Amino acid sequence: MALATSSRPWGARNARWVLFFYLAGWALLYVGERLIGGPGKARWIVSGLAVALLLAAWLAWKLAWWCSRDEHRRIQRTIFFWSLGGFAALVLYWLSSDLVLPPALPPKAGESGVTGRQVLQVAWILLLALSSGPLIFAQWSALTVSQSQSPDARRVFYSAGAGGIVAALLGTLFFVNALANRLDINTDLSYFRTTSPSESTRSLVEGLTEDTAALLFFPPANDVLTEVEGYFQSLARSSGRLQVKVIDRAMAPEEVAAYRVSRDGTVVLARGEQRQTIEFGVELDSAKTKLRKLDSEVQAALLKLQRKQSTVYWVTGHGERSADRVDGDARDRMSLLKTVLANNNLLVKPLGAVQGLASAVPEDAALVMVIGPTAAFFPGEEESLARYLKDGGRLLLALDPAAQAQPEKLLSELGLRFRPAMLASDQGYVVARQNLADRRNIITDQFSSHGATNFISRYSRELPVAMPESGALEKLPDSQRRVDFICRSLPSVWADADGDLQPGPDEKRQVFQLAAALSQPVESAPAAPEAAGSVAKAPQKEMRVVALANAAAFGDTFLPFYGNRFFMADVLRWLVGEGEVAGPPTTEEDVRVQHTRGQEAFWFYGTVFAVPIIILGVGFATRFGRGRARRSAS
């Protein structure tokens, strides 16, 4: 009895397994290099198995070519040559990996251009896509045509061409994505909604001690008036001292002259002889930008009406961060912080050697701010700040770990020591640059109960705070001062002393102190007695200091985060005075979305894998249904 043998060539009989090994090899390589990574054994095991599967697939396709004849041989030869594109892609990936090139470091400030590593990283992905599309389509088609003794190789070639078109489309999408990232063209597709009164603005209205009028100079039946009037009517329900009145400018020339209104679409807040004006215009499209931040505009105007203007001194002359753009300084600006101070009726003035910092701090200083100094202070300046604090002064000190010099004398006076090694985390951080430097953008929700964290300590779980480029604070062992550490890092953080952004054997993960608060009552000179024999009590003053281990938390990039915004408001309220600084207003302005590493991974894998799988699944289901319908009809 003769044994039955298959008439199909070896390559046709084992095509499914060969294709499976090929795809499984690339999938395992992705797991080993991207999901595991690092220098550990797990990466070598998984990636090594992946390379073994890929080599086995290429050898199998080569064997299938040799063992085939006629049309089968043409088909297997085509499949093998397309598989060589994947082999070349693997070689390019190896050349671009850290096995050949050193680990990629964050780009330096002002550095631009394309590196050789980036060229290789783009090249191997494009080559893999352009070769895998025709390969998979051709192999899938070959499974069908190889059933016959005389297969039609043209069907396989046509399928490979279709796969090439799909691969070219994917390559075009890669190119368009890279081009869009380079050009950074933005289109405003945001929705519009007028803000509602915030709790802090309502508190200002509830605290009004004199009658205040909100005069809305608008023509009747105006869209902008509808938005503005609704806001003020809601605000007026908080206090009987706020009256809202709509005035048609064309019909009230006396009031127009009295309040000096020159155009429609103007809101005047008036208290006695004081005036604050907010202009919106009468066209809704042009007024949308201001309507989105209506609450902050009204809050700033009310503060200027109610409170006497205080002075905040911003120390300069030692490389501090500035609210304005400075040539050669790539650090984050502090313009939003300055705007917040101005909106709270706090006048910001510079204070440096030219303004006499070495001799004394001006007597009208409600607060002194030292934000990110990078150079040494001039002789006498730190001593002047120390005397200011002994007299009951208020100081916000934000340090820069990258600075060449730190205010050591001032820190010693406060009983603090600063560790400038930047903290990093590979678990809880904000993704901003899409590279390893993001690990320095650590986040925390660990706050102590203190006057300087009155709000944020209660809602830190819902409002985490970004503390980027941060060092760490410690209390000096021999200091007699009472230091309250009000903010600390998560336990997954390490001090990145070597700057490689990887946890080393000597870099222990632990909790670091990120912010400290100090306060001390100060006795002022006795006041004059009111009557004979009476004892005059000296007015009580208090020295208050908040020291931060970083300056970037209040910069323009991270201050728009709600957690950072409320943390800043808490700190300023405690330093300047509870009644001097209002809480953050509500706003409908678009804020750039920043994700943590976990959120970034969810959206990445969801868009890369989940969406294409759903689309392909629907396509296969509909095609399978049409095929069954045709077979039933035949």
3-state per-residue secondary structure call for 305-364:
HHCCCEEEEEECCCCCCCCCCCCCCCCCCCHHHHHHHHHCCEEEEEECCCCCCCCCCCCC
- Residue 133: CB partners within 8 Å, gap ≥ 6? 163, 164, 165, 166, 167, 168, 170
pLDDT band, residue 109 (cuts 50/70/90): very low
Mean pLDDT (whole number) for 226-251 = 91
Alpha helix segments (H runs only) across 376-452: 381-390, 408-414
Average pLDDT score over residue span 164-181: 74
Q: Assign domain 199-297 to its CATH architecture.
A: 3-Layer(aba) Sandwich (3.40)
Mean pLDDT of 154-175: 76
- Concatenated DSSP letters of 116-173: HHHHHHHHHHHHHHHHHHHHHHHHHHHHHHTTSSS--HHHHHHHHHHHHHHHHHHHHH
* pLDDT score for 66: 76
287 DSSP β-pair partners: none
363 pLDDT above the threshold of 60: yes
Q: What is the mean pLDDT of residues 51-60?
A: 85
Say if residues 483 and 416 touch (Cβ distance below 8 Å): yes
Contact 480, 520 (CB under 8 A): no
DSSP E strand boundaries for 234-293: 242-247, 266-271, 274-279
The conformation of residue 598, written as its DSSP 8-state character, comes to H
Residue 431 has pLDDT above 90, yes or no: no
Listed in sequence order, the residues at least 6 apart from 318 whose beta carbon sits closer than 8 Å to its beta carbon are: 352, 373, 374, 375, 376, 377
Residues in Cβ contact with 472 at an 8 Å cutoff, skipping those fewer than 6 apart? 418, 419, 421, 423, 489, 495, 512, 513, 514, 549
Q: Highest mean pLDDT: which of 61-70, 142-151, 282-291, 493-502? A: 493-502
Going by the DSSP 8-state scheme, the letter that residue 608 receives in this structure is: I
Query: pLDDT at residue 413 above 90?
Result: yes
Lowest mean pLDDT among 182-191, 393-402, 616-625: 182-191
The dihedral of CA 527, 529, 533, 534: what is its sign? negative
- Mean pLDDT for 410-435 is 90
Contact of 583 with 200, CB cutoff 8 Å: yes
The Cα 455–Cα 561 span in angstroms is: 15
Quick one: 308-522+538-585 is in which CATH superfamily? Class I glutamine amidotransferase (GATase) domain (3.40.50.880)
Question: What is the band of 24 on the pLDDT scale with cuts at 50, 70, 90?
Answer: confident
Could you tell me what percent of the chain has a pLDDT over 70? 78
- What are the tokens at 206? 């509830």
DSSP structure string for 498-563: TSSSS--TT------EEEEEEEEEEE-PPPPPSSTTPPPPPPEEEEEEEEES-SGGGSTTTTTSHH
Closest Cα to residue 461, out of 364, 563, 340?
A: 563
Q: Which residues contact 408 (CB under 8 A, 6 or more apart)?
A: none
256-265, 608-617, 622-631: segment of lowest average pLDDT: 622-631
pLDDT in tens, 511-551: 999 999 999 998 765 545 544 444 444 445 899 999 999 99
- Decide: 394 and 544 in contact? Cβ < 8 Å: yes
Which of 26-30, 46-50, 180-184, 597-601 is least confident? 597-601
- The model's pTM: 0.58
- Please tell me the distance from the alpha carbon of residue 574 to that of residue 207, in angstroms, as a whole number: 19
Strands 394-398 and 346-351: unpaired
> Which residue would you say has higher pLDDT here, 222 or 70?
222
Mean pLDDT for 53-75 is 78
Mean pLDDT within 342-366:
91
